[in-house]
Structure formats: structure tokens, C-alpha cells
Amino acid sequence: MTLIDLQNSTVLVTGGSRGIGEAIARTLHGAGASLLLHYSQGQAEANQIAADLGHERLSLVQADLAVPGAAVDLWRRGLDWRGQIDAVVNNAATMPAAPIVADWDRWSMAWQETLQVNLVAMADLCREAVRHFQTQGGGTLVNLASRAAFRGDGPEYMAYAASKGGVIGLTRSLAKGFARDGVRAYAIAPGFVRTDRIEQVMAERGAEYVTRDIPMGAPAEPQDVANLVAFLVAGLAPHATGATFDINGASYFH
């Protein structure tokens, strides 16, 4: 018997065209899920994933979550595909720099965009999902937070850390508020993960810049996150609802 079996489940993954989101999407699809793969700018990458996996159990949905209300439209278009969504993995995020010495327009724009994409759009999707889950006896939310929610980030990325702190509060509130409706909500808080962006940082600044505060000596692989997502979406730890799962190589306080 396969432990992770997502046949007959439809899962929406946001930001699924590259990095952690791509690993999550491919893993869930490989476990049998029908996949709604959201992307914003990465159309070529999304098309490649669709070419690799086929269209029988995969549908691509584009939306710019920086636009207020776009998440609600994304949900409605996604729901039209099969008429049912069993889980949502909120992975999409942005991280523009906003140093305090920047001019007001840059500072304000970075904060507004970060909070809109990383928190408000996520909350909008969670709202739509919960209302839908209540009609079908339950469902699962997996929200990607960050190590930065707990230990902060660089001063130019305060907006990112703040948004991810909000994800933790949002997820716990959802778990408490809708457990009796069969809704399960989990947060995952990765540290450095070996995505293209982190590979670029390591190439530009040296690997030590990333690995120096990770006791395991290397960033996590995207598959680490994807495996945990699949486990949670499969409903194998329902009483862990509301929990935050750290994936940071023991880099809690360094």
C-alpha cells in the first residue's frame, strides 16, 4: 500500500511553476492528485511542467496575486475545472527589498506588494477555500511561511518577515476557527532552500553566506518541503492542524 495516495483529490498550488512550488506540484501529481497549477510570470516554466506531466490531471491557471481581488478570481476559475477542490497549497510569494533609506515610494510599494501577495491574497484564497470546504465536509490548507517569521530577516526585508509572521497567525486562526467543519490548516516555515534564487546568491556571495548559520551545512532541497506537503495533504496527521513545521537544518537561532 502506498502511504501517500492522493487519487481522487484535486489540489490547487499557487506559485507552482518554479522552485519550491514546482517540486510540490510534481510531487502531488506523482502521488495521484489532480493538479491546479497557478503561475504568475512563469508561463514558459508552467507549460514545460504541463508538457512533462500531461493535461489529463493538470490544469494551468494564471493570476497576478499582486492585484487585489485576483485571488478570488483565481479560485473561481480553478473551481470551474472539476467543481471541487480538496486542498490548497499557498506557496506564491514575493520579496522586494525595501531599505529604510529608500525613498518613500519604493518603501511603500515594496510593503504594499509584499503584504498583498504573501498575506492578503493568501487570506482571500483561504476564505474561498473554507467556504467551499464547509460544503463538502472538510479540506486542507497548507500555507508556506518562513523561518523569517520567527527570527526576522535582513533590515531591507522587514516586509517579507512581517508578511510571513502574518501567515502563522492566519493559519492558526483558521485551524482553531474551522476545525469542527473538517478544515485542517498547517504552516510550513522553510529556511534557506536550494532554489535558483538561492543558488544565485551562493554564486554571487559565496556558499558560506548561506550555509554559515545552518548546522546541517547546506540549504534544504525543495523536495524536503514537497514531501511534507504531500504528507499533510494526504490527511496523515489531522491532529497536527494549526502546527508550524520548520524545515531549516536546525538554523533556529543562529
Express each pLDDT in 75-86 by its tens digit: 999 999 999 999
Of 135, 121, 161, 134, nearest to 38 (Cα)? 121
Q: Which three cell numbers stand for residue 196?
A: 535558483
Each residue of 33-52: pLDDT tens digit? 999 999 999 999 999 999 99
Q: Sheet holding 183-190: strands in order across?
A: 58-62, 34-39, 10-13, 87-90, 139-144, 183-190, 244-247
Nearest Cα neighbor of 35 from 14, 19, 4 is 14
Query: What pLDDT was estimated at residue 2?
Result: 54
Classify residue 31 by its DSSP letter: T
The cell numbers describing 246, all together, are 520548520
What is the domain range of residue 38? 10-194+221-245
- H/E stretch holding 113 reads helix 104-115
pLDDT digits (tens, 9 = 90+) for 195-254: 888 888 888 888 888 888 889 888 889 999 999 999 999 999 999 999 999 999 999 864
Confirm whether 68 is domain-assigned: yes
Which residues, listed in sequence order, are joined to residue 189 by a DSSP beta bridge?
A: 246
Question: What confidence category does residue 109 fall into, taking pLDDT thresholds of 50, 70 and 90?
Answer: very high
> Residue 253 has what pLDDT?
65
- Inside any domain, residue 199: no
Angle at 14 between CA 79 and CA 157, to 5 degrees: 145
User: Does any domain span residue 212?
Assistant: no
Say if 98 falls within a structural domain.
Answer: yes
In this structure, of 60-64, 113-117, 217-221, the range with the lowest mean pLDDT score is 217-221
pLDDT of residue 252: 82
Is 216 within a domain?
A: no
Q: What percent of the chain has pLDDT over 70?
A: 98
Query: Cα torsion for 249, 92, 23, 184, to the nearest 10°?
Result: 80
Average pLDDT, the chain: 95
Q: Residue 59 CB: number of other CB atoms within 10 A?
A: 18
Q: What is the pLDDT of residue 85?
A: 98
User: Could you give the C-alpha distances from 116 to 25, 61, 142, 253, in angstroms and in order?
Assistant: 23, 19, 18, 28
Q: What is the pLDDT of residue 140?
A: 98
Q: Is 141 helix (H, G, I), strand (E, B) or coil?
A: strand
Q: How confident is the model at residue 184 (pLDDT cuts 50, 70, 90)?
A: very high
Q: Is the pLDDT of residue 1 over 60?
A: no
Residue 253 lies in a domain: no
Three cell numbers written together for 156: 531591507
Q: Which three cell numbers stand for residue 94?
A: 514575493
Q: For residue 183, is it within any domain?
A: yes
The CATH number for 52's domain is 3.40.50.720
What is the DSSP code string of 75-108? HHHHHHHHS---EEEE---------TTS-HHHHH
Using one digit for the tens of pLDDT, what is the confidence trace for 131-171?
999 999 999 999 999 999 999 999 999 999 999 999 999 99
> What is the rounded end-to-end Cα distance, in angstroms, of the chain?
41
Which amino acid appears at position 188 of this protein?
I
Return the residue matching grid coordinates 510540490: 24
Residue 161 lies in a domain: yes
Whole-angstrom Cα distance, residue 161 to residue 171?
16
Number of structural domains (the chain) is 1
Residue 190: pLDDT over 80: yes
The three cell numbers of residue 16 are: 507552482
How sure is the predictor about 176, in pLDDT bands with cuts at 50, 70 and 90? Answer: very high
pTM for the whole structure: 0.95
